[in-house]
Each structure stands twice: as C-alpha cells, then as structure tokens.
Structure 1
Amino acid sequence: MSDVTTASVSADHRPQLAPAGQGGGPDSAWRSPWFLGWIGLVVVVVVVNATMITLAFVTNPGLVVDDYYERGRDVERSLTTRRAEAPGWTMSLDTPADVAAKTPTMVRFYVVDSVGQPVRPDQVTYYAYRPSDPSADFSLPMVEEAPGRYAAEVTFALSGLWDTLVAAQTGGQEIAFDQRIGVADH
C-alpha cells in the first residue's frame, strides 16, 4: 500500500465560464450594481436634457421688442453716465399688495428732490409690461394729485408677473423707476 493518495479531477467538474461577449458570467460588469447605477445615471441625465431642450422649443414665447434698436442704444450708456445725469430724485411707487386681474387698482407715484421737496415733472407715464405676453402691455398717463404725487387707475388684463415702470420727463430728460408686481386672479 502506498501512503500517497492522489485526487483525480475530471474535466466534467470544472467551472464553466460564459463565452466572451455574453453577459451573465460571475465577472460580468452587467451584474455589478455600481455599473448599472452609473448607466442609469447617464440615461437619466440624457433624458432630462432632451426634455429641457424640447420644452425650450415648444414653450418659446418669442418675445421681441418693436423698438429694439433704440432700447439697445439706451443700454449702451454706462451707469456712470446715467448717475451723472440723474437729478438726485427719490422716487417710490405705491402699488397695493392685493392687485387682481380685471379689477381697477389705484397706483401712486411719489417723487422728491435731494432735499425732500416735491418735484413737478413735465409728464409722468405708467408703463406695464407682461414678460410672457407683449400683446397685453399698456401705458397710461399719471395725473398729478398734489406736488410730487401722481396717480393712475390701472386694470391688468391678465394675472401673473408684470414689470411696471414709471417714467418722469422733465426738460427733455426721462427718469424711470421700475417695479415687478404679481397680479392675482380676480
């Protein structure tokens, strides 16, 4: 008898590996949760980007200003130049907090000079711009109630955000004061 024992391994009991190129093997990347997570993340980013691009084209309001050239020239003036030309007025616009669409609302504009005395501009105009619908834009002249206090009764056709601007003209110069307001449903 021999003290050496031999073990024989038959070819039928070897572990079988999947052929190259087919998933499912024990070392396959497709079975790794990390790999699948990264692939899922990339797919989500691509889908979100495609959705945002589609929405940008579908919901484009196409806002174009009729007098774009004149407005562009006004923007070119530097802030320093505007400050040098400004008369030092203090302006405020009193718009009620509960403005509702299709309901008349009284807005008031106050303007005083650098020492607190009321200013009487030649003309004061109230402008209302609807950022998402330029066909709803309007302007009204403001009426002087007292020196330095002007009023206008405005009716907003639509609810939502509005950009308002009061332009006071005096001596060929226009000084503007702007304010963004929210208009509720009536």
Structure 2
Amino acid sequence: MNISKDNELALSSSVVSIGAFDGLHKGHQTLIRQMAKRARELGVPSVVYTFDPPPRAYFQNQRVLTTVQEKLTLIERLNVDYTVIANFNEHYASRPPADFITELRLLGAREIWVGSDFRFGKGKEGCVDFLSRHFHVNIHPFVTCDQGERISSTRIRKLLKNNDWLKVHQLLGRQSLETIDA
C-alpha cells in the first residue's frame, strides 16, 4: 500500500472512500471493503482518504481510538492500494468545500464511497449532495451490530467509558487496539 499526504497523490482514475475511520470498526471495514471491491471491478486503484487527527479529536478533543500507524496497518489488511492522510489542522479545517473537490479530482475519482452523515470543508459546509454534483457518490448505509444498534466510533467511546470491553471488541471486529487502555 502506498501512503501519501493530502495534495500529493495524482492518479488518472480511482475509487475513493473518505472518512475519519477512527477505530476502523466493522462499519468502516465494510465501507472500505465495498469500495476496494468496486475498484477491482473497474480495474482502477482503491484509495482511502483519511485524517490525522480525526476531526472530532481536533474540534471536540474526543479520544482518538487508533493511532495513524494502527489505522494504516488495518487499512492495508483490507487490500487498499493507496491511503491519503490529511494533516487535519487549523489551515486544513478552514478550507472551503471547493478545495476538497479540487483535490479529489487529482485522484481521478470515478466513484466516491462515504457514510450518509459525511460532511466536509470549513464549518461542515460540504455535504453528500454537494459532492454528488461533482462525482458519482455511493452512500454506504450504517452498519448495525447483532442487536440492531448502529456501529459508530462515538458508541465505542461510550462503551469504553463503561468498560464494556466485550461490546467494544464486537464492534471493532478484533480483540485489541493499541491506543485503548485496558
């Protein structure tokens, strides 16, 4: 897997999934697997575009569930060709949505895969509808656990506060996270 910073990678064609992917839980894994499968069907590279730190950690000081290195290791296991890691800082957060569209064009994005709540750009001004005006967008539905509840990083953080490790591991789809304290 090749790793790049934002605005460094240029491809003639690709399929891209975008997200913070903090925790890289079962929902994230499903989205990335679907994107990578679609890229293989189209015969183009698969790209995961993610952020360091995750936007919620930057804006809301929320706990980061996976280090960048662990996230990269997990993404590589999903057979992704490229990962772009955007340095999420004050400058990046102040970018208008149009700047992000320009960067995605550099990736040759034939399709983009995101969750239904995906927002981007300064003040979260960019939404799935705006993205759809520029690219073919696939909105991946929320993934639920066996009890029918939505799998999310926010839910995992709540379970961690309650020391509910069994549910945390079930939602992650693995037994450990380097950054989670036992």
Taking structure 2 as the reference length, the TM-score comes to 0.24
Greater Cα radius of gyration, structure 1 or 2: 1
Give the structure, 1 or 2, with the largest relative contact order (CA under 8 Å, sep 6 or more). 2
- The answer to which structure has the higher helix fraction is 2
Taking structure 1 as the reference length, the TM-score comes to 0.24
